[in-house]
Amino acid sequence: MKTVVSVQEISEFDIKPREAVSEWRALVRDEIAHRWIDRSGWIEVHCPTCEPKDEVPAFDHCGIPYVECTACGSLFAPLRPTENELWDWYRDSAPARFWRKRLLPASSTARLEKVIRPRADWVLDGVAEYAPSARRLVDISTYGRGLIDIVAEENPDLNELLAAGVTADLEGGDTPRVKVRPVRTAELPSLGPADVILAVDALDRTSSLAALVAAIKELLAPGGVVFATAPVASGFEIQTLWDRSPTIIPPDKLNLPSVACLQQLFAEPVWEILELSTPGMFDVEMVYRAIQAEPDGPWPRVLRSLVERTDATGRTQLVELLQSRRLTSFARLVARKRS
């Protein structure tokens, strides 16, 4: 299993105007408070790899409680909207419209250079290495059109590409290379068999992580590969800041599996994990900013020594150490469905 260090993986939030991001966060809080006053129709979920008895309360974010699985270390919202409610959110809510109409256009150039292009290189290189005979690709990513367009343009051997994520038709229509058909989780197997699946920003915001992974398995052809990303609860920033983490924003982050949980979800004999890395670049910087914002806070002495009382070079070296041990808060995974 490959682990990659220092690939300069950038978060969406790091390239967007801070004032606009703050406005979006306020819209999220307000929308949750008003849209979901009645939660009687919400569903209950448990850790997809462990037992319900292992779950303990963690914190609330935007009025949504989270629990921690003490067995594998995952974080998730045990009560959450149904898939239909989440579809309505990502297609019609005020924060979703703001994201599409304000935040994405405001950062389009930087997003292409710093987020989409590196991920496209990751996928293109991975397909060449792990699935050189691939012909059919299905993308279930959220806001993934930029990625699939580059892959379609630069890998002519892929002759059937389908954009199937929740927002796919809102990002663009059919082209000669890419067809658009957004579908729900239960319908994904009907799109198969696929040789390659892209699942960027999909695992964290699905109504059921277990159901989505099962659907991915059914959708993939034997020997097919999935490229997925996810925030991970076992990372340095989340473990350090916990309830103060600015990255945990529902419903985008309903599921924060740990690295151990991902290894169990994609375990043998069904799966072979080809790559599991945590190439996030900003865990240490985010903790550093938090300490600077609250200098008199009860930060552990060892944390101050590692993060605050060192220079930029020291913080970069700490990031590289965390990446090498899969301990930053953003993971990317490549897994093959065994024949």
pLDDT in tens, the chain (339 residues): 778 776 555 555 566 788 999 999 999 999 999 999 999 999 999 999 999 999 999 999 999 999 999 999 999 999 999 999 999 999 999 999 999 999 999 888 988 998 999 999 999 999 999 999 999 999 999 999 999 999 999 999 999 999 999 999 999 999 999 999 999 999 999 999 999 999 999 999 999 999 999 999 999 999 999 999 999 999 999 999 999 999 999 999 999 999 999 999 999 999 999 999 999 889 999 999 999 999 999 999 999 999 999 999 999 999 999 999 999 999 999 999 998
**CATH top-level class for 12-337?**
alpha beta
CA distance 161 to 196: 9
CA distance 145 to 178: 9
261 touches 203 (CB < 8 A) = no
In a 3-state reduction of DSSP, which class is residue 252? coil
162 touches 181 (CB < 8 A) = yes
Domain ranges in the chain are: 12-337
Residues 6+ apart with CB under 8 A from 275: 1, 2, 3, 4, 126, 332, 333, 334
* 192: number of Cβ within 10 Å: 17
273 backbone dihedrals φ, ψ, rounded to 5° = -80, 120
With DSSP H G I counted as helix, E B as strand and the rest as coil, what are the percentages for the chain, rounded to 5? 45, 20, 35
